[in-house]
Structure 1
Amino acid sequence: MVARLDGELGPSTTPTLRESVWPLWERSDVTAVVLDVTGVLFCDSVGLRALIGVRKQGQAAHKRLALSGVQGTLARLLALTGLVRSFEIHDTAHHAVQALTLPEHST
C-alpha cells in the first residue's frame, strides 16, 4: 500500500496523516505501508512526532513502514535527530514496495 504525502507536515496536517494511515494497520490485507514523502516541502517537530506515531502503530500491528523520497526539511530532521536509523528509507516508492515484498530479515 502506498500513501502519498504532499505539502507541509505539521500541526494542521498531522491529524489527516493519522486518520489516513492508522486504519491501514488494522486491515488484514495490508502487510506494509510506504509513505511517499517526495511532495513534502516542510516538516516540523509535530510532523516528525506523527511519523514516529505511525511507525509505532505499524510495529504494534506487526507490519512494516517505509518512507520514500525523503528530502529537504524532513531529511534534515531525520538526520539531526538520529531517527534516520529508525525508519526504512528508500529513494522511490517503487524501490520501497520491492523491498517490502521481501521478508524483513532480507533487507
Structure 2
Amino acid sequence: MNWIILIVAGLCEVGFTFCLGRAKATEGIQWWCWMGGFIVFTVLSMGLLAKATQTLPLGTAYPVWTGIGAVGTVLMGILVFHEPATLWRLFFITTLIASIVGLKTVS
C-alpha cells in the first residue's frame, strides 16, 4: 500500500509543477488560482511522502518520489508545454526510469 501512496505523492509533484508552469503564463486571479493548486499539490505530495516513509526506507522512497516527479515533469513539458524532445533528453529520462525500477526491485 505504501508504494501506491508513494506513487501518488510523485504524481502530486507533477501536479504542482504543472500548476507552476500554468501560473507562469497568467496574471491576476488566474495566477492566484494556479498558485492555490500549486500549494494544494505541494502539501499533498509532501504529506503522502511522509506517510510512505513510515514503512519504506527513506533512502529508497525519496529518490523514487523525486524520480517520478522528474520523469513526469519532463514528459509533461514535452507533451503539454511543447518543450523539445531531443534524443539525449529521452535517453536520460529512460535511464532515470530504469534507476527508479531498480530501486523498487532491490527494496
TM-score, normalised by the number of residues in structure 1: 0.35
TM-score, length basis structure 2:
0.35
Bigger helix fraction: 2
Q: Determine which structure has greater relative contact order: mean sequence separation of CA pairs < 8 Å that are 6+ residues apart, divided by chain length.
A: 2
Please identify which structure carries the higher strand content: 1
Give the greater-gyration-radius structure (CA): 2
